[in-house]
Amino acid sequence: MGIGYACLAAGVPQTEMKSLTLASVSEKTLMDTCRTNIAHLKNLITYTKGQGIELFRISSDLIPFGSSVANTLPWWEVFASELASIGVLAQEGGIRLSMHPGQYTVINSPNKSVVDNAIADLLYHARVLASLGCTPDAKIILHIGGGYGDKEAASRRFITVYRSLPHEVRQRLVIENDDKLYTIGEVLAIAEKAGCPAVFDNLHHAINPGREALTEREWMLQCASTWKPGDGRQKIHYSQQDPTKRAGSHSPSIALDEFLLFYEGLSGLSIDIMLEVKDKNISALKCMHATSGATREQLEAQWQRYRPLVHERDPAMVWEIKELLQGGGDGQSLGVAFYRLLERILAMEVSRPQAVITAETVAKQCIRTPTEGRRIDKRIAAYKRAEIPLDKLKQSILTLANNHAVDEVLTSYYFMM
DNA sequence: TGACGTCAAGATCCG
DNA sequence: CGGATCTTGACGTCA
């Protein structure tokens, strides 16, 4: 059972993907952005390996306009050795890579140019994974596409195009149920006819379940038979609903007990779980530590990152956590207890006076000049008088931390919530 | 024609 | 001038 996260790592400096607009595309900007993004991908993989995280989805933004005629740079040749070395790094870390083109890559469209563009996009994704030296278990996850008033015909078009895809795409392509149109039952029917593995997405399924009343576990068992030996372990997507947003919006973080319940339901299955959640790696580590266990050092390292968030809610809780971490218990039960306590604390309201003290402490580590000091003092004063919200104050502190590359601050979760 | 999702780039405003 | 904040982009489908 592997657990992983998608595209970006919160609190890991130098891992953001830069993008370009069409108007600013040139040989130079393309070179620069590709170089930066590939270096950042290396940092992401290094971090992921260091944390023992077994799954990672590479952002489609790695190469700007990767599948567009606007990009004439043979990036896979220019950066061949660098990409290969990143692939080796991932392999050493036992990291299974994947990619997931967005909602705009549609191969079942009745419009030929849309399909041609989509195929070019899939070739781009396959080329990224191939350049990294990935085996065919590194998958490209795709939705079926549009309905066009006739889902049967649209499904048939999907299968026809799927069969015509170049081998390097087809060997990696897997299909997923979506939250509006194609239910897991319909995806499975297509998967069986096309001979393509199916990914079960629990949240999409909750919103768009279709008429057959199978349990989640039964659906996952059905999907299991679409995965053949060379495809690697069966994959699923797991996410939770953000209660404050529209149906289908991913929650800011994974609620542990709800996840553990789902995880228990997977017993006896061999599945890789890709989490889709706003806080990315943060929740991935939580779910990993609470299921497979964690060393005291791993929990200690997480605690240091959460610390300012606890401090701004209730400094007394800092001691509770320290006590917990010093107490006994094996890696798994300690992990569960640690993250349950953290969730309880993070659900508490931030007290304004306490948030001021925390902000002052964090800001102090980032201020290098009197001007900066005065600017931050002003922001803190404005927050004290309730003229600006806390996240605006944090934003100014983050800008400073970035400008001076203050790693102790940048690696904390202080700015994430 | 705008919503949908995403989030950095780009533009503009502010101190 | 630099930082903060607002707007745009780039894609396809559907209401």
**Are A220 and A271 spatial neighbours (Cβ–Cβ below 8 Å)?**
yes
The nt closest to A29 (CA vs C1′) is B9
Cβ of A336: how many Cβ atoms within 10 Å?
Answer: 20
CATH 3.20.20.150 is held by the domain A3-291: yes
Name the DSSP class of A233: S
**Distance of A148 CA from C13 C1′ (whole Å):** 9
**Are A158 and A145 spatial neighbours (Cβ–Cβ below 8 Å)?**
yes
**pLDDT by 10s per residue, chain A, length 417:** 999 999 999 999 889 998 888 888 888 889 999 999 999 999 999 999 999 999 999 999 999 999 888 888 999 999 999 999 999 999 999 999 999 998 899 999 999 999 999 999 999 999 999 999 999 999 999 999 999 999 999 999 999 999 999 999 999 999 999 999 999 999 999 999 999 999 999 999 999 999 998 999 999 999 999 999 999 999 999 999 988 888 888 999 999 999 999 999 999 999 999 999 999 999 999 999 999 999 999 999 999 999 999 999 999 999 999 999 998 777 789 999 999 999 999 999 999 999 999 999 999 999 998 888 998 999 999 999 888 889 889 999 999 998 898 999 999 999 987
Identify the pLDDT of residue A21: 86
**Distance of A338 CA from C10 C1′ (whole Å):** 42
Which tokens hold the place of A255? 């609620």
A308 closest CA partner among A359, A252, A375, A266? A359
Among all chains, which residue has been given the structure tokens 């499904």? A155
* A181 strand C contact, CB < 7 Å: yes
Residue with minimal CA–C1' distance to C13 is A146
- Helices marked H in A165-267 — which ranges? 167-170, 184-194, 202-207, 216-224, 256-264
User: Which phi and psi (to 5°) does residue A394 adopt?
Assistant: -60, -35
Residue with minimal CA–C1' distance to B10 is A21
Residue with minimal CA–C1' distance to C12 is A104
**Distance of A48 CA from B10 C1′ (whole Å):** 32
The nt closest to A247 (CA vs C1′) is B4
A39-43, long-range: CB < 8 A, 24+ apart: A39/A14, A39/A82, A40/A14, A40/A15, A40/A16, A41/A86, A42/A82, A42/A85, A42/A86, A42/A89, A43/A12, A43/A13, A43/A14, A43/A15
Identify the pLDDT of residue A25: 87
**Distance of A331 CA from B11 C1′ (whole Å):** 51
As a whole number of Å, the CA-based R_g of chain A is 23
User: Which phi and psi (to 5°) does residue A201 adopt?
Assistant: -110, 115
**Distance of A402 CA from C1 C1′ (whole Å):** 19
CA dihedral A147, A149, A152, A153 (to 10 degrees): -90
Question: Could you state, in order of their start, the residue ranges of all structural domains in chain A?
Answer: 3-291, 296-346, 352-410
Please list, in sequence order, all residues whose beta carbon lies within 8 angstroms of the beta carbon of residue A384, skipping any fewer than 6 positions away: A352, A356
Identify the pLDDT of residue A22: 86
Kindly state the helix (H) or strand (E) to which residue A198 belongs, with its residue range: strand A198-201
d(CA A355, CA A361): 10
A31 closest CA partner among A69, A70, A79? A79
Positions of chain C reached by protein Cβ under 7 A: 3-5, 9-14
* A103 strand C contact, CB < 7 Å: yes
**Facing residues of A175 across strands?**
A142, A198
The pTM (predicted TM-score) of the whole model is: 0.95
